[in-house]
Structure 1
Amino acid sequence: MFAGRRRLVFPIGAVLLILYLGYKLSVRRPEAGLWPEAQHPLHVNPKVLNDEDYFWRQIPTQYPVPPQSMRAFPQGPPVALPKIQAEFPQETTSDRKLRLQRQAAVRSAFQRCWDAYVKHAWLQDEVTPLSASSKNTFGGWGATLVDSLDTLCIMGLRQEFDEAVTAVAANISFETSSLTEINVFETTIRYLGGFLAAYDLSGDPRLLQKAREVGDMLYVAFDTPNHMPITRWELGRATSGGKQQAAEWALVAEIGSLCMEFTRLSLITNDQKWFSAAENIMLALQKQQMETKLPGLWPISMVALSGGLLPHYGDMYTEAMKTAIKYNFFRPMVPDSADILVSGIARTSTENGKPSVTVETQGQHLVCFAGGMLAIGGKLLNESGHLTTARKLVDGCIWAYENMPLGIMPEVFWMAPCDSDSDCPWDEKKWMQAVLERAGADKYDIDSAADLIKERRLPPGFTDIPDKRYVLRPEAIESVFIMYRTTGDPRLLEAAWAVFEAIQAVTKTDIANSAVADVTVASPAEVRQTDSMESFWMGETLKYFYLVFSEPDLISLDEWVFNTEAHPFRRLLP
């Protein structure tokens, strides 16, 4: 969520897993939606799928893709893959009652925020949770409305869903934007992903039409000499017929994550152009994977290239995670000596002509999704070590929540690494020394360390908290949800509920929920709420909380895959 968040290197690993599923399961057949009567139509009005009069299809193409270069998505019989979800025992009456009470509390929180959006910001991108107004930060196309469609469906809010779909079909046009420049990545995950998921869940052809309209618009961003997308895209330049060119570099997460939505749109519409455009990116990533300074992983930003052979996504994921596990994850020294991991940042350099790797022991809330990714990868590819690492990463994010004064993890924090992954006793003197080193002090002084800890409000174990905000992020609960579904461990339900209650206690406003400026303060009374509620609060965070407390077969991980914005797409099964 760049304009607020987004992920760095690891989304490519998640995309590789998702596409591994998609490519292995690429035979299309009629599919049931979430509601019993919602069957995907066998025959959709052809104009819905191929409206050549549509505005974005009328834009002159400057760099057409030769027919012989158009890549087709894989065909063939589906393959049965290993199960991802655990086998859940039958609940006791008391456990079921408690779970349903918690699920109802999450649903009530969502309903309250939805009502606020309908009343104060209908058809706008976001509602402002303090001033009860609205703002448009993602094109003015109703980001919260579109992001929430599948959540409405999953939570069984049928009347609200029907009203929302009617409003989308009648009022949202992608021919113009409130912004001069749009973020192609954010538009893809929110709008294209939101429409595709809601269509997969409901079978409503109006949503497929909207998905195709967004897809046609985004496809024009690929009309460049090397057919790589323009990630910060000026719509006016495209509509005026001017020639476009992709930038020399792009954030790897932004271009890599487009593949899921584009592939799904091609599968549903039987039009290969979107898959082909996205495949061009993935082949470039494959070509570079083992040639980077840290072979197996990609840098945060990369030069746009094209070409290559059909990638083997399982192999690409395995190589990426082999390197990530070796270099990115570290065990922090903490007061209770918990055996946890945090995902840091690997930096490469050259010393005396030899490559060197150092790990910045920085944790970020947005990287908490890595645990869930490794859990799914471990299940799909029978990598037991990935499952072990996944649990430690998830426990690390839970630990960071539990050990902050408000029970909420900050955006960015630093911790002192253990000397050994196998034995890591707490050493208060080492912690204080690490606090001073992080602050740039050149010698150890216990009084100076104590002053810094007090001034910066550092709980034991944390050496710095440079970004103290909480902006209603979903990544921690996302991984808790996936870990619960893959293990069935009931302790994760308790952890999820503690996080939900902590977030509600400090972010709830008179009309909705807000981001907060500083989670290091001592009590909720000291919290300063900020007038922002990004669409991912209802599109992701509350959705994952709801699913944690749902029956395991609601959006089963053996039947659905989630995009970067938590929009579930139906897997095509044997």
Structure 2
Amino acid sequence: MRSLSATRSVALLLLNLAAALPHRNRATQYAVNQDRADAVKEAFQVSWDGYYRYAFPHDSLRPVTNGFADDRNGWGASAVDALSTALIMGKWDIAHQILAYIPEIDFDTTTTEVSLFETTIRYLGGLMSAYDLLAGPLNDHVEDISDVEAILSQAKRLADNLKVAFGTPSGVPDNNLFFNPPRRGGSTTNGIATIGTLVLEWTRLSDLSNDTEYADLAQRGESYLLHPQPPSGEPFPGLLGTNVLLSNGRFVDSNGGWGGGTDSFYEYLIKMYLYDPERFAEYRDRWILAADSSIEHLVSHPTTRPELTFLAMWRDKELRFFSEHLACFHGGNFILGGLTLSEPAYTNFGLALVDSCHATYASTATGIGPEIFAWQDSAHPANATNNPPAPAGQAAFYDRAGFWIANGNYVLRPEVVESYYHAFRATGDAKYQDWAWEAFERVRETCRAGSGFSSIRDVNQPGGGGFHDFQESFWFAEVLKYSYLIHAEDAPWQLKADHTNEFVYNTEAHPIRVAAGREMLRR
């Protein structure tokens, strides 16, 4: 296990990066732009009104046809995902509508398969975030504490049903469940994101309920990722394959990246340390190992725009030069790691990743980044089998943009604006506010459809190439929250650059009170 001091080669690379990029002063001043913040609140209201009229209490709105979908078990995913954003925005009329609904959710019953991962980050995270906000900095808005305690009761009820997932020979959970009664779906493997993105929410539930079982269950599954076996499951130090066996926790592949299926495992390593540095120092060390290894092994610059910095994916130890909108959270995660560890080199590297993900927005016809993009690496031979040129039809676009589009969908994803938010809170540089505002304006004008906002088919077609007729619940939880926070006044839940954080955000952008704040939760 690597300690806080990196190996000599990686340390030198980090120092070079720090020298090459401008040093940021953490004594930041945050400009507030109330007009922009209010515009985002208006979009939230429009989105909620459409959902509440045509879809509530179902999961998601189909805005074009004014219909609904129960894609997250029919428990009102958009309502629960919207609650922490409504509280942060001070949208108390909406918050009260959701708070009145939460005790009515029947978490014992659903007719569809349950995802342990999705249910944890959306429902469990959303409930505990609401509890932390209302029992903490917003408790002056609470008239009856029993209303807040009801949120925690529902979180425990849900988690008690989900606990069956961990009843495998190894303790690695099965992500696929069924209820009525709760039972496992019979999977043989699970992925590192769906194993490693439970520890924050389940540990927090233990800390709030004084019941260690929830934390113990999630941390047992996580232990196989902190100590990966066999060695082939860790092709680069700290960087893992994707899938492990439920029977024994051993890796079955060596393929991975900072994208979908693996992403939030790395995200939660540093966030667990921020949550409680006393209990989770090992998570910090594993994040450092992964971060250093990413800089040493994965950094890639496209042939047509070598000033851009992307992180490659890998298959075994062979790099694959593509990435995803999902992966663009990594800039913010490196920034968070740099702030948390007082290591400006990590922060500066994160800022370079943010700049490059901004390029994926700035280069398309809609001004919105694509779901998947690829490039030709400047350091590998142009004729290498893993380093093909741009498709003929996109050669001109690649010459200009530094990437080509492998999948042009935009499904209302938050990761790029999430990283803008972290960059702004680290530096106070107003350009990140401007980038976030540009992204919001482009999404607002392209994705506005019917009674809300819809995912689109092609970011490089004027008007987005048509609608998918779907408003994701994370549109409420993430896109609108980060788009608002970057322009809003300082508050206890805002990211701090000076080690005074009171909250840490789960991967669904629900702010969770750090462990040191436990004494503030009850009155």
TM bracket (short chain): 0.7 to 0.9
Q: Matched residues in 2 for 1:469 and 1:90: separation?
A: 33
Q: Matched residues in 1 for 2:223 and 2:195: separation?
A: 12
TM-score by length of 1: 0.73
Q: Matched residues in 2 for 1:138 and 1:453: separation?
A: 40
Contact 1:126-1:533 within 8 A present in 2 as well: yes
Contact 1:262-1:278 within 8 A present in 2 as well: yes
Which residue identity lines up with residue 40 of structure 2 in the other structure?
V
Segments of 5+ residues of structure 1 without an aligned counterpart are 1-83, 349-356, 421-429, 440-448
Q: Matched residues in 2 for 1:327 and 1:229: separation?
A: 30
Post-superposition Cα deviations, 1:530-552, rounded to whole Å, max 9, x if no partner, equal: 21111000111101100011123
Post-superposition Cα deviations, 1:84-110, rounded to whole Å, max 9, x if no partner, equal: 99433375xxxx4xx110000000000
Which residue identity lines up with residue 300 of structure 2 in the other structure?
F
Q: Matched residues in 2 for 1:194 and 1:85: separation?
A: 33
Contact 2:375-2:390 within 8 A present in 1 as well: no
Contact 2:334-2:350 within 8 A present in 1 as well: yes
Q: Matched residues in 1 for 2:230 and 2:509: separation?
A: 30
Alpha-carbon spacing, 1:223–1:501, altered in 2? closer, same or farther (3 Å)? same
Alpha-carbon spacing, 1:165–1:566, altered in 2? closer, same or farther (3 Å)? same
Q: Secondary structure at the match of 2:171?
A: coil
Which residue identity lines up with residue 194 of structure 1 in the other structure?
G
Corresponding position of 2:129: 197
1:121 aligned to 2:121?
no
Q: CA deviation at 1:340?
A: 2.8
Alpha-carbon spacing, 1:317–1:434, altered in 2? closer, same or farther (3 Å)? closer
Corresponding position of 2:311: 343
Matches within 5 A, 1:233-248: 233-236=177-180, 238=182, 247-248=187-188
1:527 aligned to 2:471?
no
Equivalent of 2:67 in 129, 133, 153: 133
Corresponding position of 2:240: 298
Matches within 5 A, 1:29-428: 86-89=26-29, 91=31, 96=32, 99-170=33-104, 172-179=105-112, 181-203=113-135, 204-236=148-180, 238=182, 247-288=187-228, 291=231, 292-304=234-246, 305=248, 312-334=282-304, 339-348=307-316, 357-419=317-379
Q: Matched residues in 1 for 2:386 and 2:156: separation?
A: 53
Corresponding position of 1:551: 489
Question: What RMSD, in angstroms, separates the aligned Cα atoms of the two structures?
Answer: 2.7
Q: Matched residues in 2 for 1:310 and 1:453: separation?
A: 47
Which protein is bigger by CA-based radius of gyration? 1
1:470 aligned to 2:414?
no
Q: Matched residues in 1 for 2:80 and 2:189: separation?
A: 30
Corresponding position of 2:442: 502
Matches within 5 A, 1:7-18: none
Q: Matched residues in 1 for 2:365 and 2:408: separation?
A: 12
TM-score by length of 2: 0.79
Which residue identity lines up with residue 119 of structure 2 in the other structure?
T
Q: Secondary structure at the match of 2:177?
A: strand
Contact 1:296-1:319 within 8 A present in 2 as well: yes
Alpha-carbon spacing, 1:310–1:367, altered in 2? closer, same or farther (3 Å)? closer
Contact 2:474-2:508 within 8 A present in 1 as well: yes
Q: Matched residues in 2 for 1:207 and 1:368: separation?
A: 32
Q: CA deviation at 1:463?
A: 5.1
Contact 1:252-1:302 within 8 A present in 2 as well: yes
Corresponding position of 1:67: none
Q: Secondary structure at the match of 1:134?
A: strand
Corresponding position of 1:8: none
Q: Secondary structure at the match of 2:107?
A: coil
Q: Matched residues in 2 for 1:263 and 1:269: separation?
A: 10
Post-superposition Cα deviations, 1:20-76, rounded to whole Å, max 9, x if no partner, equal: xxxxxxxxxxxxxxxxxxxxxxxxxxxxxxxxxxxxxxxxxxxxxxxxxxxxxxxxx
1:567 aligned to 2:501?
no
Which residue identity lines up with residue 308 of structure 2 in the other structure?
I
Alpha-carbon spacing, 1:509–1:416, altered in 2? closer, same or farther (3 Å)? same
Q: Secondary structure at the match of 1:496?
A: helix
Which residue identity lines up with residue 345 of structure 1 in the other structure?
M
Which residue identity lines up with residue 360 of structure 1 in the other structure?
R
Q: Matched residues in 2 for 1:106 and 1:311: separation?
A: 37
Q: CA deviation at 1:379?
A: 1.5
Contact 1:165-1:206 within 8 A present in 2 as well: no
Contact 1:85-1:556 within 8 A present in 2 as well: no
Post-superposition Cα deviations, 1:82-138, rounded to whole Å, max 9, x if no partner, equal: xx99433375xxxx4xx1100000000000000111100111000101001111011
Which residue identity lines up with residue 573 of structure 1 in the other structure?
A
Q: Secondary structure at the match of 1:363?
A: strand
Q: CA deviation at 1:417?
A: 2.2
Deviates more, 1:403-412 or 1:459-468: 459-468
Alpha-carbon spacing, 1:548–1:395, altered in 2? closer, same or farther (3 Å)? same
Contact 1:404-1:459 within 8 A present in 2 as well: no
Q: CA deviation at 1:250?
A: 1.1
Alpha-carbon spacing, 1:123–1:385, altered in 2? closer, same or farther (3 Å)? same
Segments of 5+ residues of structure 2 without an aligned counterpart are 1-23, 136-147, 251-278, 496-500, 518-523
Q: CA deviation at 1:388?
A: 1.8
Q: Matched residues in 2 for 1:560 and 1:199: separation?
A: 13
Q: CA deviation at 1:213?
A: 1.0
Deviates more, 1:225-234 or 1:504-513: 225-234
Q: CA deviation at 1:459?
A: 6.8
% identical equivalent positions: 31
Which residue identity lines up with residue 401 of structure 1 in the other structure?
Y
Q: CA deviation at 1:162?
A: 1.3
Alpha-carbon spacing, 1:436–1:340, altered in 2? closer, same or farther (3 Å)? closer
Q: CA deviation at 1:311?
A: 6.9
Post-superposition Cα deviations, 1:181-207, rounded to whole Å, max 9, x if no partner, equal: 211100110100010001111121121
Which residue identity lines up with residue 536 of structure 1 in the other structure?
F
Q: CA deviation at 1:289?
A: 7.2
Q: Matched residues in 2 for 1:225 and 1:359: separation?
A: 34
Q: CA deviation at 1:323?
A: 1.4
Q: Secondary structure at the match of 1:539?
A: helix
Q: Matched residues in 1 for 2:168 and 2:387: separation?
A: 48
Q: Matched residues in 1 for 2:25 and 2:476: separation?
A: 24
Q: CA deviation at 1:573?
A: 3.3
Alpha-carbon spacing, 1:198–1:542, altered in 2? closer, same or farther (3 Å)? same
Deviates more, 1:121-130 or 1:156-165: 156-165
Q: Secondary structure at the match of 1:408?
A: coil
Q: Matched residues in 2 for 1:125 and 1:539: separation?
A: 13
Q: How many residues align?
A: 444
Q: Matched residues in 2 for 1:383 and 1:402: separation?
A: 29
Q: Matched residues in 2 for 1:545 and 1:163: separation?
A: 23
Q: CA deviation at 1:178?
A: 3.0
Q: CA deviation at 1:285?
A: 1.3
Q: Matched residues in 1 for 2:178 and 2:239: separation?
A: 30
Q: CA deviation at 1:232?
A: 1.1
Which residue identity lines up with residue 207 of structure 1 in the other structure?
I
